[in-house]
Structure 1
Amino acid sequence: MAPGELLTGLALPLVRIFFFISLGLILASLIEELGWSRMMSRLALPFVRFGRFSETSGASFALAFISGVSANTTLAEAYRDGKIGRREVLLANLLNSLPRFFLHLPTVFFLMAPFIKGAALLYVGLTFCAALLRTLLIAATGRWLLPAPAARPVAPTGGGKPSLREALLKAWKRLRRRLLRIMLITAPIYALFFMAAAWGYFALFSAWVEENFSLLAFLPPEGIGIIVLVAATELTAGLAAAGALLDGHTMANREVVLALLTGTVLAAPIQALRHQLPYYAGIFPPRLAAELIVVSQLFRAGSVILVGTVYFFLSA
């Protein structure tokens, strides 16, 4: 493998991951030290209050509109300090699917629109419905599974809150304690999956799924090609193929949208292993990290399949 590939495919992504993890740790510490969690949780008040989530989960929900890594780091720090339990971490991570959708919406939409034009609106609308459905279901599940929050004590009016400089010093000390451990866990995992992708194992797995997954018969043969490109390479390749098929009147908007939704579902496990597992394993305990990834991917896939199935029959 050429040194340039190692630099652009492994070294630079790891630097980017560690930068955002470090930023997330600092933000999480500042939120705790300066008492910002209550203020931020107000942005998510309807979901938090109905689902019986804590202020920490509310702050994570609000922060997820800006940075998914920082939102998860807030949950990880609260769990490590015993402020929230395992069940709430799982539910709060799932609750953040709606802000994560809006976080990536501009990139996804403006990437899709030049290729597939009007079909981009259909795809974005359907994935938004899936994200909203997940958030509503998790809020309802939280109300059922989480205990009613106890009455919060009135905060003292005098002093006690550190200055910004003191909070930054505490955040820096916490970062130095934890960052080395995170790097030792994250770097080998990311490198392993980078090499697996470079050697073509993910592409082989995706091709095997497409060849043996008989439920894809509802799509024309050209649609299978879009799915393979989305699942085995990246979204841009699938969009380029879809745009060419649309321009050539080989496929209609409905078929392209269904192919992209299917490719998104089938690509989810691979994307989770390549991108989520390295940094989840760095900030959460290993078993909890695995649970978060499996549950979130299954729930996301289930919601997309449900919304896609409704669209399939309504648009027939």
Structure 2
Amino acid sequence: MHEHEFTLSAIMQSSGWILFAVAIGAIIANIIESRNWTGFISFIANPLLKFSRLPGVCGISFGTAFFSNNAAGSMLASAYADGRITRKEMFIGAITNSFPAKFRHMMRPAVVIIPLLGITAILYLAIQLIIEILQVLLVFSFGRRKNLDPTEYHAAVRKEMPTWNESLRFSLKATGKILLRVILITLPIFIFVAYLGDKGVFRQLEKKIPRNMQSVLSPETIAIMGSKMGGLVSSATVADKMFHEGKVSMLQILIALMAANMITIPFSALRRNLPTALGIFPKRDGAWIVGITQCLRFVFNLAALAILILIQVKF
């Protein structure tokens, strides 16, 4: 949908493609989830935990976090209360459990945004995965016990594997909820951004931005960042539109997504992570765990963003 093509037919065509891509991606993601997809990441979890040399309960908690971060946190809190692990080990276990939680959180939007953004989405997800792995390695390096055997990874396995019919029913039901969210949130944002572009708002904003900053902080980049408030799928749909119109490059999309991710980190922590952690861990430990986790994530994201901006400016 190019500029000056803000028509009903263009909107319907673009919206139809978005709904199709989201539906296919969501169905695949939900089927994989219902079929116990956590076994696929054991090749990452195993070496990380062997490096940590933490008590065995930390390995069990790490595997459980791929299904439920709350259950994993409760395991650590109980082990600390029983004296089986130290406070430091509880902190390390809880902070590194953010990796499985982040992996699970990325799973659904991953298969939705890849059809929209292609290699750009793959690069963004790869950067996020590398950031999480580096964060885990850094935290594990502070808690290694040389006198302990390597920690084993214990994948939490569901008691019964659902049949394919049950998996399909689960997937269709979950996909319906995702499509409803797309219709209520993603599409209105997409249409609003398209309307602003048709009215020349971005061209007017571009004139007010210094020329030497336009390659990094263009109006289109700001629009992608703003749409991230509606979720990763929302920003991906806006980025896909602008990329096909030739208004942003692959690198600019990555910069926008990384910058938006940093902006949403504190809001996500306050809305989701902090209330749960305060209810699981003793005293103020929950607040410290969330604070350290999100600060590390922010710093690593900032470093990755700085590298991307440097590449954009230099090349």
Interval containing the TM-score (normalised by the shorter chain): 0.5 to 0.7
- Aligned residue for 1:220? 218
- Aligned residue for 1:309? 306
CA distance in structure 1 between the partners assigned to 2:214 and 2:96 by the alignment: 30
Asked whether the equivalents of residues 227 and 238 of structure 1 are also in contact (C-alpha less than 8 Å), the reply is yes
Q: Does 1:78 align with 2:79?
A: yes
Residue correspondence of structure 1 range 285-300 to structure 2 within 5 A: 285-300=282-297
CA deviation profile, 1:141-178 (whole Å, cap 9, x unmatched): 222xxx55569xxxxxxxxxxxxxxxxxxxxxxxxxxx
Asked whether the equivalents of residues 52 and 141 of structure 2 are also in contact (C-alpha less than 8 Å), the reply is yes
CA deviation profile, 1:210-251 (whole Å, cap 9, x unmatched): xxxxx9993212211222222x43323222221221122111
CA distance in structure 2 between the partners assigned to 1:132 and 1:312 by the alignment: 22
CA deviation profile, 1:251-300 (whole Å, cap 9, x unmatched): 11110111011111110100111111222122112411110111100001
- Aligned residue for 2:127? 126
The alpha-carbon deviation at position 122 of structure 1 amounts to 1.1
The alpha-carbon deviation at position 71 of structure 1 amounts to 1.6
CA distance in structure 2 between the partners assigned to 1:275 and 1:244 by the alignment: 30
**Gaps in structure 2 of 5+ consecutive residues:** 1-41, 150-212
For residues 48 and 120 of structure 1, do their structure 2 counterparts lie closer, same or farther at Cα, with a shift above 3 Å needed?
closer
Runs of 4+ in 1 over 6 A off after TM superposition: none
- Aligned residue for 2:34? none
CA deviation profile, 1:51-82 (whole Å, cap 9, x unmatched): 33111111111222332222222112212223
Deviates more, 1:80-89 or 1:99-108: 99-108
CA distance in structure 1 between the partners assigned to 2:104 and 2:84 by the alignment: 27
For residues 280 and 238 of structure 1, do their structure 2 counterparts lie closer, same or farther at Cα, with a shift above 3 Å needed?
same
The alpha-carbon deviation at position 44 of structure 1 amounts to 5.3
CA deviation profile, 1:77-134 (whole Å, cap 9, x unmatched): 2122232222112211222243334323431211212332221011011111111111
CA distance in structure 2 between the partners assigned to 1:122 and 1:50 by the alignment: 26
Q: Does 1:252 align with 2:253?
A: no
Number of aligned positions between the proteins? 209
CA distance in structure 2 between the partners assigned to 1:217 and 1:78 by the alignment: 51
* Percent of residue pairs identical: 28
CA distance in structure 1 between the partners assigned to 2:214 and 2:93 by the alignment: 33
What secondary structure is seen at the aligned counterpart in 1 of 2:136? helix
What secondary structure is seen at the aligned counterpart in 1 of 2:284? helix
- Aligned residue for 1:106? 107
Residue of 270, 273, 281 corresponding to 1:284: 281
TM-score of the pair, normalised by structure 1: 0.59
- Aligned residue for 2:176? none
**Structure with higher RCO (Cα < 8 A, 6+ apart):** 2
Residue correspondence of structure 1 range 1-316 to structure 2 within 5 A: 46-143=47-144, 148-149=146-147, 218-230=216-228, 232-314=229-311, 316=315
Asked whether the equivalents of residues 96 and 136 of structure 2 are also in contact (C-alpha less than 8 Å), the reply is yes
What secondary structure is seen at the aligned counterpart in 2 of 1:218? coil
Which letter does structure 2 place at the counterpart of 1:53? L
For residues 46 and 114 of structure 1, do their structure 2 counterparts lie closer, same or farther at Cα, with a shift above 3 Å needed?
closer
CA distance in structure 1 between the partners assigned to 2:234 and 2:46 by the alignment: 40
**Gaps in structure 1 of 5+ consecutive residues:** 1-40, 152-214
What secondary structure is seen at the aligned counterpart in 1 of 2:84? coil
The alpha-carbon deviation at position 135 of structure 1 amounts to 1.6
- Aligned residue for 1:177? none
What's the RMSD between the two structures over aligned residues? 2.8
- Aligned residue for 1:32? none
Deviates more, 1:301-310 or 1:94-103: 94-103
Asked whether the equivalents of residues 109 and 233 of structure 2 are also in contact (C-alpha less than 8 Å), the reply is no
The alpha-carbon deviation at position 303 of structure 1 amounts to 1.3
Asked whether the equivalents of residues 53 and 148 of structure 2 are also in contact (C-alpha less than 8 Å), the reply is no
Asked whether the equivalents of residues 44 and 58 of structure 1 are also in contact (C-alpha less than 8 Å), the reply is no
Asked whether the equivalents of residues 261 and 304 of structure 1 are also in contact (C-alpha less than 8 Å), the reply is yes
For residues 53 and 287 of structure 1, do their structure 2 counterparts lie closer, same or farther at Cα, with a shift above 3 Å needed?
same
Deviates more, 1:292-301 or 1:273-282: 273-282
Asked whether the equivalents of residues 54 and 149 of structure 1 are also in contact (C-alpha less than 8 Å), the reply is no
